[in-house]
Structure 1
Amino acid sequence: MKEFKLLGLSLVFVGAAHAQDAKDAKKAIDAEQYQKAKNTLKTLIASEPQEGKNYFLIGDIYLTQTETDSAAYYFNKGVAVKDNPEYNQIGLAHIALNKGDAAGAQAKFAAVEKDLRKRDVEQLIYMGKAYIYSDNPNYVKAIEYLNKALAKDEKSAEAFFYRGEANYRNKDSNAAFSDYRNAFNLDNTLLKAKLKLGVLKKNTKAAFPEAVADFNALLATNPNYGPAYRELAETYYLWGSMDRAKYAENTKQAIAFYEKYMQNTDYSLNSRMRHADFLVLAGDYKALEAEAKEMQKLDKVNPRILRYLSYSAYENGNYQESLDAMNKFIASVEPKRIIARDYLYRGLAQLALNVATDEEGNTTVVDQAKFDEAIADIKKAAATDIEITNEFGAIGQKLFKQKLYGPAAVVLGAATENPEGRNLFVDNFYYGFALYADYVTKPDDQKATYAESLVKADSAFAKVNELNPEFPEAFIYKAKVNQLVKTDEAYAKMASAYDSYIALIVAKGPADVEKNKKNLLEAYDNAGAYYVAKDKVKAKEYFTKSLELDPANEYAKQELDKLK
């Protein structure tokens, strides 16, 4: 009897140890220590092959890392075990949601829910999670399941947290804040809830210092909590992007915090890929190239590594290597995995390879067909994700400096189509400038074909004037464009634009008048010529001003003599 009691006691301790291991795995998952969590769960599966929840947890990690085949492998093994197999049906339903099979997923959820006991809450939470993090999310359905969980357990911190996630993604920040706060108040060890309160501040784009303070406060309680370092990195990056004066300092700080994130999570392939994604944002392409090479040591066949090799090779001046890597990447992945930046870099590499300089220093196109393919890829990038057009201004200006005015206009035109673009003012100016320069450099017998370019240029300069009515350069080029259109309406626009240019420069004072003398003479003479038939007093004024600037101006003298 004594031996039986001792044996029973030892079994209790073994069960408690295993339960603790499962909790440790979940804690590691929350801390984004995915490799540690997978190792723990694989050990648990070996020691407890009939516990379905362990199969589900490791499968869910693989889903988080977008490794669907590995996730399905564990879910399919888990549905066949004795204890808690229903969790794995939830995992398979999540995969169905990712594939767009909402009806199939719902059928699996319904089957699981039908057999739940009164106190079964966690399954409902994981159903809600599936709807939140699916490739095809449904936040309303997620909240429905999380409300069911809270109806069963009104003190479930996890249910509040994930309802906060659903509300946050559904753009209800107030509800999200309330849910995250409730989750942390119910369980102050739930650091991810505290973290999200800081994330809400970070994403207001106005409260970066407050977000940093929140993340630092969290780290004061647990200096090894990796996700807080990642959020600090992303906050400093965004802060630098919004405040260009702080860009260099904050980006350096961001990269340092991301390294701390890696140190406190793991250096697995998936973590390295996330690090690589951040290095792309931060523009540290030397570090990106080094990271890509480290990833290749871990996995020589993963196509995503080719993406990072392509990006870094281009930025480090290795254009053929960049093009080859991106072509291999695009050929080896599903179309839905190709992002705007992939098309952009393939286009940029192809562009760089097909631009040369002749003996006279003029830029030439090596292969027009490949050049056109490059432009098409850049435009496809914009069509795939309009936000990437925020980077098109720099590309277009580079093409402009190479005197590739037509391609520059294509790239800059795509940038101006984003009404929320961060560089809308500059992009519109250079777009109009590129269209104008492309037109005037065309042979005379081709100019009629490009007449529409002048109309677009006029609209671009008008947009610049709208965004900043005191930018004189837009007025002078608007005038030049309309002079080339040669219609009565265009001449009227020309004169009006010259009027605005003259007024702005003269108001700045004598120094600016002298500095802009050439353009002012053009404005006085051309506008004066227009006003000869419309307003003789104004015409005399302009020709007189022209002679004051240049007493040797024979054209102005002749026109004044005619007006006497």
Structure 2
Amino acid sequence: MKVINKASASVLGLIFMGSSVFAQSLADAKKAIDAEQYQKAKSMLKNLTVTQSSKDENYFYLGLVYLKQDYADSAKLTFNKGLAVNPKSALNMVGLGTVDRIDKNEASAKANFDRAIAAAGKDDKPYIYVAKAYLIKPYMSKEAIAILEKAKTVGNGAKDPELFVTLGDAYRSQSDNSNAYVNYNQATSLDPNSPVIPVNIGVVWKQANNYEDATKQFQDALTKDPNFGPAYRELAESDLQQAKSDPKVASAKIKEGADYYKKYLDLTDRSPESRMRYADFLIQAGDYKGLEAEATALAQGDRAKSNLRVYRYQAYAAYENGNYAAGLTAINTFMKEADPKRIIPRDYLYLGRLQLKTGQDSLGIRSLRKALELDTTQVDLYGEIAASLYSKQKFIEAADAYDTYIKKSRAHKLSDYVNLGRSYFYAYGAQEENFAKTNVKADTSLLTKADTAFSYVNHKVAAPIPSITLLRAYVADARETDRQNNYKGYAKPFYEEYINLVAPKNPTDEPTKKSLVGAYAYLGYYYEFVAKDEAKAAENWGKAKELDPTNKQVQGYFSRKGGGAGKGK
């Protein structure tokens, strides 16, 4: 046996230690990726691309981290470096195809994926990562499932737990939770110690609103790895979902969820990416004070410049907290500097809201319409558009928006029918006023639509609302086409109903008294000049006089009858 001196032993020890570290480093980096410790993973992988620069796999996983951090340009550059090292690197071909999918270049993506599969040989991983790319929105779940089924016949595919996890993800994206569950269980049998799999199973239960079993799975993941951050994130988002579905537990669940999310941040290096995901959680939770604080912290130094989403968070928080000028500055910066592919419908929503709040009404409505164009499910925006148009006295457009809002949104209220009716009624009035200029008669169908809206309201409530009955009286009176020679008295039943609703309560507030005087005056005129019933006319004018003897119409009546209105009783 040769004797190895201490110096040689030390050198050999370092060599053996180093080879062991490098042999495990990629696995450790992948474990860090699964745990969403992206800064840690990136540091390890950057080191590997230096110390093991000939291994194309290192470049692929580094590029993958860049994609997860939303740095597609850096990812593409890294994948190309991997191909420079090995032109036949199937994984880096997949990486380029994934960038293509993010950039919505499906033809180029498919070409890269086809190249990757042709170069994959007996390696099932390229198949798996093509499938993962297909599961980036918009989901191509069928394509993902098809390629994963092929992967089962390639190399070690049938025994690769990552394949079955991805297959579970694909079925879950189709809301086929039964098949998702089957594949996650198969993955568990292949890798029973993985914390990734119980988290995915927990998400299935969460989607089914089975929070108890979901929580058990997330806790199981933490039993396997107490530092597995995604389990805490899912616990937080499960709490948020419960809060939205059950107001009784909302406050407690949101607080608990926020605590879980802070643990998630602590376990993921509090990287900007993790914190921005927390910011997304705060938006969903409606905690805009918390969002403002987080956005302010994220904006320190050059972070806002390195990731423009910080401006998005500043804008959302500023709007919700009433800082409209600051919010408009932030959202304008984001919209100007962000890649158009990164702008989402909600950005146009907040841009529009902030423009409306700062007096830029036309631009605001245009931005809200853009948000609707990009996401037709955001039907509640019609309500905001309608309210803005109404406030600017654009009544026809407001009526159209209210009508659409009522038909499409489940959030509409009876007050929206009132505003719909008012919009139609005021639109008719505006047309009447413009008749001298346009020589176009007002559209009487607007009155029918207005009365239909008001009638709906009073039929939906337990007892008629006096103010709605009064509006129906105004609409009915507007239908009179010949006030001088053929007055029909269309408003009479509505004014009578209004009086019956209001007069017994002996109103003391001036607006109601004024309306009541108007109702009596209408009936007074009707009985005096249309029905020719002097007794009824005197009765109604007398009641009007009791309420307001100074009213000019009242005084006119008593002057016609040869006496002053007097001062009342």
Amino acid at match of 2:365: I
Map 1:401-420 → 2, pairs under 5 A: 410=398, 413=401, 416-417=404-405
> Is 1:317 matched up with 2:322?
yes
Query: Residue 46 of structure 2 corresponds to which residue in structure 1?
Result: 42
> What's the RMSD between the two structures over aligned residues?
5.0
> Is 1:281 matched up with 2:269?
no
Tell me, yes or no, if the aligned pair for 2:431 and 2:442 is still in contact at 8 Å.
Answer: no
Query: Residue 378 of structure 1 corresponds to which residue in structure 2?
Result: 368
Distance 1:19 1:170 in 2: 38
Q: 1:457 to 1:90 in 2, by over 3 A?
A: farther
Distance 1:201 1:480 in 2: 56
3-state secondary structure, aligned to 1:244 = coil
Distance 1:97 1:484 in 2: 62
Quick one: percent identity of the two aligned structures?
A: 34
Distance 2:377 2:217 in 1: 29
Distance 1:423 1:140 in 2: 34
Shift of 1:35: 1.1
> Is 1:142 matched up with 2:147?
no
Amino acid at match of 1:109: F
Q: TM-score, normalised by structure 2?
A: 0.73
Query: Residue 51 of structure 1 corresponds to which residue in structure 2?
Result: 55
Distance 1:497 1:40 in 2: 79
Shift of 1:417: 3.9
Distance 1:277 1:452 in 2: 47
Tell me, yes or no, if the aligned pair for 1:52 and 1:81 is still in contact at 8 Å.
Answer: yes
Query: Residue 559 of structure 1 corresponds to which residue in structure 2?
Result: none
Distance 1:148 1:500 in 2: 75
Query: Residue 536 of structure 1 corresponds to which residue in structure 2?
Result: none
3-state secondary structure, aligned to 2:70 = coil
The counterpart of 1:219, out of the listed 210, 217, 222, is 222
Shift of 1:48: 0.5
Tell me, yes or no, if the aligned pair for 2:194 and 2:221 is still in contact at 8 Å.
Answer: no
> Is 1:229 matched up with 2:232?
yes
> Is 1:182 matched up with 2:180?
no
3-state secondary structure, aligned to 2:115 = helix
Q: 1:51 to 1:438 in 2, by over 3 A?
A: farther
Structure number with bigger Rg: 2
3-state secondary structure, aligned to 1:317 = coil
Instruction: Encode CA deviations 1:224-263: one digit per residue, 9 max, x unaligned.
Output: 2211222222222222223334433333333232222212
Amino acid at match of 1:196: N
Map 1:36-435 → 2, pairs under 5 A: 36-82=40-86, 85-118=89-122, 120-133=123-136, 135-152=137-154, 153-204=157-208, 206-296=209-299, 297-301=301-305, 302-354=307-359, 370-390=360-380, 410=398, 413=401, 416-417=404-405, 421-425=409-413, 428-429=416-417, 431-432=419-420, 435=423
Shift of 1:57: 0.5
Shift of 1:324: 1.9
Shift of 1:78: 0.4
Shift of 1:216: 3.7
Tell me, yes or no, if the aligned pair for 1:307 and 1:325 is still in contact at 8 Å.
Answer: yes
Instruction: Encode CA deviations 1:538-559: one digit per residue, 9 max, x unaligned.
Output: xxxxxxxx9xxx9x99xxxxxx
Tell me, yes or no, if the aligned pair for 2:165 and 2:183 is still in contact at 8 Å.
Answer: yes
3-state secondary structure, aligned to 2:45 = helix
Distance 2:275 2:48 in 1: 26
Amino acid at match of 1:314: Y
Instruction: Encode CA deviations 1:244-289: one digit per residue, 9 max, x unaligned.
Output: 3443333333323222221221322222222222222222222222
Number of equivalent positions? 514
> Is 1:445 matched up with 2:427?
no
Tell me, yes or no, if the aligned pair for 1:75 and 1:91 is still in contact at 8 Å.
Answer: yes
Q: 1:113 to 1:407 in 2, by over 3 A?
A: same
Q: 1:80 to 1:432 in 2, by over 3 A?
A: same
Q: 1:499 to 1:282 in 2, by over 3 A?
A: farther
The counterpart of 2:476, out of the listed 452, 460, 483, is 483
Q: 1:286 to 1:404 in 2, by over 3 A?
A: same
3-state secondary structure, aligned to 2:39 = helix
Distance 1:411 1:28 in 2: 55
> Which sections of structure 1, spanning at least 5 residues, go unmatched?
355-369, 512-516, 529-545, 554-564
Tell me, yes or no, if the aligned pair for 1:184 and 1:191 is still in contact at 8 Å.
Answer: no
Tell me, yes or no, if the aligned pair for 2:395 and 2:423 is still in contact at 8 Å.
Answer: no
Distance 2:283 2:295 in 1: 11
The counterpart of 1:22, out of the listed 16, 22, 26, is 26
> Which sections of structure 2, spanning at least 5 residues, go unmatched?
436-440, 482-487, 506-511, 524-539, 548-569
Q: TM-score, normalised by structure 1?
A: 0.74
Distance 1:338 1:166 in 2: 26
